[in-house]
Amino acid sequence: MKRVYVESSVISGMFDSNDHPEKAQPFWDAVTNGKIRVVFSDVLDDEIGVAPQRVRDFYANISESCIERVASTEESKKLAAVYIAAGIISKRHLTDCRHVAVAAVARVDTLVSWNCKHIVHHRYACQLEL
């Protein structure tokens, strides 16, 4: 089963008309049907904690059996600092950088994001097979 790191835009995108929530539903159906396992981090928990109530409710209702939880580590913090020093992600977008670093250290199969400014770049994006 693929381990897929999810950052906050994938959850909040279910409620954002600009992100076309109908396109997100097949992803969450694959999670619910056991085709993929989502990986959530403490970075995600922090972001969701200040999100609108409907986003927090959606997050809270994802079955724990579908989730693997990982935490930031010293290694991921150092990696995030390397990304910033290299100019890969600016310091202004530290949280996005932390998502990428945590996902890399956790050695997930895929990182899913709808953040096309700081995390996903069209030239690197690929299609996740559900």
Which two structure tokens, joined as six digits, stand for 30? Answer: 């694959």
Highest mean pLDDT among 22-31, 63-72, 81-90, 106-115: 63-72
Residue pair 55/11 in contact by the 8 Å Cβ criterion: yes
CA distances (Å), origin 21, targets 10, 13, 31, 56, 120: 9, 6, 15, 16, 18
Question: Using CA atoms, how far apart are residues 5 and 38, in angstroms rounded to an integer?
Answer: 6
Residue pair 7/118 in contact by the 8 Å Cβ criterion: no
Q: Assign a CATH topology to domain 2-112.
A: Rossmann fold (3.40.50)
Query: Does the predicted model carry a pTM greater than 0.95?
Result: no
Q: Which residue has the tokens 């932390």?
A: 98
pLDDT in tens, 81-115: 998 898 877 788 888 889 989 999 999 998 887 75
Annotated domain spans of the chain:
2-112
pLDDT in tens, 39-51: 999 999 999 999 9
